[in-house]
Amino acid sequence: MKNIVGGVCRRFVSLGVAVAAPVIPSFVAAAESGPHIRLDETVITPTRTVTALENVGSAVTVISRDEIENSQIRDVPNLLRKVPGISVVQSGRPGGQVSVFTRGMNSNQTLFLVDGARIGSPLNGLVTLSNLTSDQIERIEVVRGPQSTLYGSDALGGVINIVTRKGGEGEKDGKHFGGSLSLEGGTHDGFRQAIDLWGAGKRVTGTFSLSHISTNNVFINDRYENTTVGGSLTFHATDDVQITGTVRYTNGRNGLPGAVSAGPENLTEHLKDETFFGRIALDWKVTDIWSQTLSVSNTHENLYDTGNAFSQSLSHSDAFQIGWQNNIQLGKSNTLTAGLDWYLNKGMYSTVGATPFEKTIRNTAVYLQDQATLFERLTLTGGVRYDDNSRFGSEVTYQGTGVLRFDETGTRLKASIGTGFKAPTLNDLYLTFPDTGFGAFLANPNLQPERSVGWDIGIEQDLGKRATLSMRYFQNSIRGLITASPVGFDLTQTNVAHARTGGIEASLNVHVTDDLTLWASYTWLAEAKNLTDGSRLLRRPEHTGTVGANWHFLDRCNLNTSLTIVGARADIDAATFATVKNRAYAKWDAALSIEVCKNFEIFGRVENISDERYAEANGYPALGRVFWGGAKVKF
């Protein structure tokens, strides 16, 4: 294995020794005593049914509500940085464009969901991640590897499902209503206000959240502002029937100074994003062995680029979805899942120099999956899906996973294989620039989907009662990547590129005591290659890793700290467009909260403690050291 940049290695090792040294005796004692005990954690995203995590063959990481609150991280992209196999790149400061690369795949090849419903824009296949806050989130389930068999287009690299809170948090204490109000301020005139409410009645539970954050960042025309409102309401009509509605509205605005290596380039350009998400679902347990869910959802986005006469744009998009899922319990350890998904993707786009368009694409899909546990230790899951698309025709995908458990030693062998596809976006199909000054850029309505095959194999090993080590080797092959190709003096989109990614992802979680948790994750992206020209895929570091700790002490205090290390990677020079090497960096963060009394808490965090100077995207420097502090009133 190639060595990561020397300086980064030394930081990683030094911090690892510093964190591990005082807890090694406790860890050894925990690992050597008692039987192998695992938390009874369940997930829903990998199989679309509630499944014990130990019986899931796909690679899954869960970010819990406690982790979100303890870290004081206020947006989804930064929460994803500790997940193995995930690389997050932000163009500059808060509010800048965010890309998430899963196992080296393109950023538009990871599907984002809210409560199982798609939220990406059909225009470009992306989510405006910089505006996706951590408000109202119960947990985030990250599934890596092709997942198109259950979720259709865009799930080549994996699926990230944001599960929202449903209310009733304090029922166990006899409470029927509660909430919190928090205020915090920070460097660069940062200011955040948030209110969270929840309630629970005999048959109704609900939540509501409202937050607003603003910061001037460091450059001219670099201000970022975000308002997010969300809530859910669940009505338990009977013990077997419930109806749940979820809504979320985001209004984000940020300046676009451009590449600012030598000062801001744009002094007036702004991006405004307005997104509304709504979902309503009926869950019905028809019989003891048959349950079904009928859901309707819609994501509507308005995106405005204003202030610069050469790049002004306007777009509106809708991603409308109807789902009908049936789960049938064929036996104690055999579940059959069958469903129907119907999508309508609609978008309008207009920008300077382009031919405006307004188009609609429909997609109908059916899927079938079977999960079975044999001999109480072997769990097999297999599925197939058929999609019929009004633009490109049909697509068939499949997936198979397996888990072999050895409970006597706390060992689980896991493997998965599957196919995925990404349908051409509306921009791919219909966006044309008739005259760019260097010829035309032509849309191609005959584009076919990008297709992939991916597999992985690995091991999870419990190290005594309180620790788990996980390692996995993965590989993906992607064909028919959509890229611009010359046609005479013009360019047009074609399915010509071929890429391959592969490597190792590993994680270690240690519950040293009930109050002290350590974790580490590492990804070696050994291969991220464009096989068409032999080049390394841009902005995919070969080495990434995190180490961290969470310590609850004195009954009222909580300290959370993490170090993220990112190796060197190929990038594009923002001025010359030449391929350059973007240097490695290490970022250390810490957050402390103190419960002064039952109803009052003070908290603070420091981001980039060492004041590291780096740019995740070349030419777009990140912030230096930043301080935040505030207080929360609970009721």
Mean pLDDT value across residues 164-190: 86
Is pLDDT at 326 greater than 70 in this prediction? Answer: yes
- The mean of the pLDDT values for the chain is 91
Neighbours of 336 (CB within 10 A): 18
Percent of the chain with pLDDT strictly greater than 70: 92
In-domain check, residue 379 = yes
In-domain check, residue 232 = yes
Higher local confidence (pLDDT), 541 or 29: 541
Is pLDDT at 544 greater than 70 in this prediction? Answer: yes
- How would you classify the pairing of strands 557-566 and 357-374? unpaired
- Give the chain's domain count: 1
Percent of the chain with pLDDT strictly greater than 90: 85
Residue 14: pLDDT band (50, 70, 90) is very low
The answer to whether 250 and 121 have CB atoms below 8 angstroms apart is: no
pLDDT, tens digit, for every residue of 551-592? 999 999 999 999 999 999 999 998 788 999 999 999 999 999
pLDDT, tens digit, for every residue of 428-462? 999 999 987 778 999 999 999 999 999 999 999 99
User: What local confidence, expressed as pLDDT, does residue 307 receive?
Assistant: 78
Is pLDDT at 518 greater than 70 in this prediction? Answer: yes
Neighbours of 129 (CB within 10 A): 19
Q: In this predicted structure, which of 159-168, 173-182, 267-276, 377-386 has the lowest mean pLDDT?
A: 173-182
Residue 70 CB partners (closer than 8 Å, separation 6+): 550, 558, 560, 591, 593
User: What local confidence, expressed as pLDDT, does residue 314 receive?
Assistant: 95
Strand, coil or helix: 439: coil
CA–CA gap between residue 62 and residue 519 (Å, rounded)? 13
The 8-class DSSP code of residue 575 comes to T
pLDDT, tens digit, for every residue of 81-126? 999 999 999 998 999 999 999 999 999 999 999 999 999 999 999 9
User: What local confidence, expressed as pLDDT, does residue 28 receive?
Assistant: 38
The span from the first CA to the last CA of the chain, in angstroms, equals 53
Q: In this predicted structure, which of 29-43, 339-353, 424-438, 618-632 has the lowest mean pLDDT?
A: 29-43
Extract the tokens encoding 393: 């025709």
In-domain check, residue 56 = yes
Residue 606 maps to which CATH number?
2.40.170.20
In-domain check, residue 1 = no
Mean pLDDT value across residues 51-73: 96
CA–CA gap between residue 200 and residue 178 (Å, rounded)? 9
Mean pLDDT value across residues 167-193: 86
In-domain check, residue 609 = yes
In-domain check, residue 416 = yes
The 8-class DSSP code of residue 119 comes to -
Q: Model pTM?
A: 0.93
For residue 398, the enclosing domain spans 6-634
Is pLDDT at 138 greater than 90 in this prediction? Answer: yes
Q: In what order do the strands lie in the sheet with 117-118?
A: 59-64, 137-144, 158-164, 110-114, 117-118
Is pLDDT at 264 greater than 80 in this prediction? Answer: no
User: What local confidence, expressed as pLDDT, does residue 169 receive?
Assistant: 66
User: What local confidence, expressed as pLDDT, does residue 290 receive?
Assistant: 97
In-domain check, residue 401 = yes
User: What local confidence, expressed as pLDDT, does residue 175 receive?
Assistant: 73
Residue 46 identity (one-letter amino acid): P
The 8-class DSSP code of residue 504 comes to E
Is pLDDT at 30 greater than 70 in this prediction? Answer: no
With tokens 């450059």, the residue in question is 219
Residue 396: pLDDT band (50, 70, 90) is very high
Residue 27: pLDDT band (50, 70, 90) is very low
Mean pLDDT value across residues 334-358: 96
The answer to whether 547 and 519 have CB atoms below 8 angstroms apart is: yes
CA–CA gap between residue 232 and residue 579 (Å, rounded)? 47
User: What local confidence, expressed as pLDDT, does residue 58 receive?
Assistant: 97
Residue 34: pLDDT band (50, 70, 90) is very low
Higher local confidence (pLDDT), 267 or 581: 581
In-domain check, residue 69 = yes
